[in-house]
A and B are shown apart, each in its own frame.
Chain A
Amino acid sequence: MSKSIDRKWVWIGSALLVVALLVLPFLVKNYRVFQFNLVLVYAVAILGLNILTGFNGQFSLGHGAFYAFGAYTAAILMSLYHVPYWATLPVAFVFCFAFGFLVGFPALRLAGHFLALATFALALAVPQLLKYKKIEGLTGGVQGIVLSKPEPPFSFSLFDQPLSPDRWLYFFTLFVTALMFLFAWNLLRGRVGRALVAIRDHPIAATAMGINLPVFKSLTFGTSAGFTGLAGALGAIVVAFVSPDSFTVQLSIFLLVGVVVGGLASIPGAIFGGIFIQFVPNIADEISKSAPAAIYGVLLIGLMYLLPTGVMGGLQRLWMKLRARPAG
């Protein structure tokens, strides 16, 4: 009896959620919608990092580099080659996948803090690389590249609010995000997911069971980079601007914060992570310019002590406690 009630509630809840999501952009101001778009973008980026670090145990402090690579790919394609915005996404994914796969190879030899170190170095080097004068023609140098937000393909209005570019991008981003999450979920729940976790927890045993470690780990790196790179491209479209100083090591650190807050090896947790890293700096900035960093720092340490499985893990445990209570 309780099982079918459970089921019914899940369906109703999900349906309500979907309706809410679809109507949301028309209930709030344009700027808020823009922020929501970024939440979704970050969620996908965090999901990418989580595949590598959470599920596969390979530490990356440099995912900002892949994000930047994807963002610049989209920006260059759109500004120099007039590629339509939606077409840049698959290209960004493929390029970043390849980039990540290549990075994956030296990463094979590194473990734990050495991998963290190498990726940290990558993150630190990226802005300087993007400002390099010799490729200024492509990257726009220090000034970056300015893009224009795509116009919605039709006009539409709800609650007196028109379908602005930001709102149109909201639906686009929502669609892409849903796709990527579905992709990740599919990928991770089967043999691939189990293999990833096996490699993370018992690498020697995994090899003994026939998993080709080098190939798998590099493919994981590539896939992870592809996700984050695609997020970067999406981000470029949403923000309509890329510049080297948008992609400092801080971005890589914030993505990591998102993974930790949401929960390592949790797919839905990535959404919490996205909400977190988008909105906390906005609120904290009002206290002090340094406040967001301090809060993140305290949070990272606090979470490692108290809630190592992140928000999702904490919620899961709470849910299990509630369900374990006898009925009536």
Chain B
Amino acid sequence: MEALLYQIFSGLANGIIYGSVALALVMIYQATHHINFAQGEMATFSTFIAWWLIQSGWPYWGAFFFTVAVSFAGGLLVQRIILRPIEKAPVMTNVIVFIGLLLIFNAFSGWFFDHTIKSFDSPFPKDSALTTKYFSAHQFGSAGVLLLVLLALFAFFKFTPIGLAMRAAAQNPDSARLVGIRVSWMLGLGWGLAAAIGAIAGMMVAPIVFLDPNMMAGILLYGFAAALLGGIDNPLGAVIGGFIVGVLENLLGAYVIGTELKLTVALVLIVATLTLKPAGLFGKKVVVRV
């Protein structure tokens, strides 16, 4: 029983990370109706920036917030400069450009910070007051951080005019223009937010899996699965999806398949969700007339 509980709690802790990557994906999807394949690599690059700042002597939280701000700006710029010209291009063009961005960010990480594996310290030290029976201090701390982020975002989208404007711009850019929304800037904002969330997720993951250019590849896949499971247009769903994926990963790994086929589990989840329940568990089914 103890072992089962441990698996579940550990799964929840991992799930928070998957949920936050899923959140970033949902952010961009809500704003642009595109899936950002480069999300993982951007997050890794952001994490490297934070690492470098800390190595240069910055205090952790200073580096943290600076990285978040830089990532926000970076995401905004990527949208304004690289993606805006192809806003109206077919889906295929956009996907190819996303893959291009994936390659570039991955290359930058390796180029500027080399390929050796680095350690990244957690701001929540092992023996602090936060350690509990089932959660390490870091798991507890990152959960808190990410939950705060989620709440802030949820409130932003639901209650603020800009959040509403972003949702409107995503769904119907033409009508959004007709109510005076600067659609292009909304998209940029979406990217900025997603990049910022990705950076936070990366900084929460790095203490666990160690930092190298390919850190986020597998996690990105889990993020995809979580986002789809929760409903690709639902931020709350993304986080819940993350929890589900995290727990499933651990339970299946411990009791059914063994720990070696985790990525296949993610794959099966993705395909199953896309074919059986494309709107996910909590996504809204938008009525579309042909």
Contacts and interface: CB of A to CB of B under 8 A. Distances in A.
Question: Do A's and B's CB atoms come within 8 Å in the complex?
Answer: yes
Interface of A: 53, 57, 59, 61, 106, 109-114, 116-118, 120-122, 124-125, 128-129, 131-133, 204, 249, 253, 256, 260, 264, 288-291, 293-294, 296-301, 304-305, 308
Contact of B104 (A122, A133, A260, A293): A293
A296 B100 CA distance: 7
B218 interface: yes
Interface string B246-270: 0000000000001011111011001
Nearest to A122: B267
Interface size band for B: 35 or more
A122, A289, A290, A291: most-surrounded residue (chain B CB, <10 A): A290
A132 B258 CA distance: 10
Contacts of B262: 128
B85 A305 contact: yes
A113 B97 CA distance: 12
Nearest to A54: B92
B91 interface: yes
A129 B108 CA distance: 29
A293 B100 CA distance: 9
A291 B96 contact: no
Contact of B100 (A125, A132, A204, A297): A297
Given A129-B261, A296-B100, A298-B104, 5 more contacts: A256-B96, A289-B115, A290-B109, A294-B103, A304-B86
B207 interface: no
A114 B283 CA distance: 15
B103, B104, B217, B258: most-surrounded residue (chain A CB, <10 A): B103
Interface string B226-252: 001000000000000000000000000
A290 B263 contact: no
Contacts of B261: 128-129, 132
Contacts of B105: 297
B18 interface: no
A123 to B, nearest CB: 9
B76 to A, nearest CB: 18
Nearest to B89: A304
B35 A117 contact: yes
Given A121-B221, A124-B221, A300 B270 contact: no
Contact of B266 (A53, A121, A264): A121
